[in-house]
Amino acid sequence: MKRPRDPSAASGDGWDGTGYDIAADPQHAWGQEVLDRMTLRSGASVLDAGCGSGRVTEELLRRYPDARVVAIDASASIAEAAQVRLTRFGARVRVECARLPDGLP
């Protein structure tokens, strides 16, 4: 899958949220490993940058029932897939289509 050129575009960014969800098993496994190593304080706020279709975000919200998450992805299609997956968590999660600034570590 290619990297999107225009993350603000509602379509045509080259990504398919449904297809990504099916193909993202390696990313999901890596995310599970990260979740297994982390501990959040009660009421923590988390930024999930590059949330994909929200599979790891969903697990984080299950494991930490009082956590709040802002989940972002540069692809509108993938962010939409995450929104559909995570809608049941209500106000605990906000999904945005956004790109992190270049040059971040």
Name the amino acid, one letter, at 1. M
Segment-wise mean pLDDT, segments of 10 residues, the chain, 105 residues: 38 62 71 89 94 93 96 91 95 94 72
Task: Please tell me the predicted confidence (pLDDT) of residue 30.
Answer: 83
Task: Please tell me the predicted confidence (pLDDT) of residue 14.
Answer: 66
Sheet with 45-49: list strands edge to edge: 45-49, 68-73, 93-97
Question: What residue ranges define each of the domains in the chain, with the CATH number in brackets?
Answer: 17-97 (3.40.50.150)
Task: Please tell me the predicted confidence (pLDDT) of residue 100.
Answer: 83
Task: Please tell me the predicted confidence (pLDDT) of residue 27.
Answer: 78
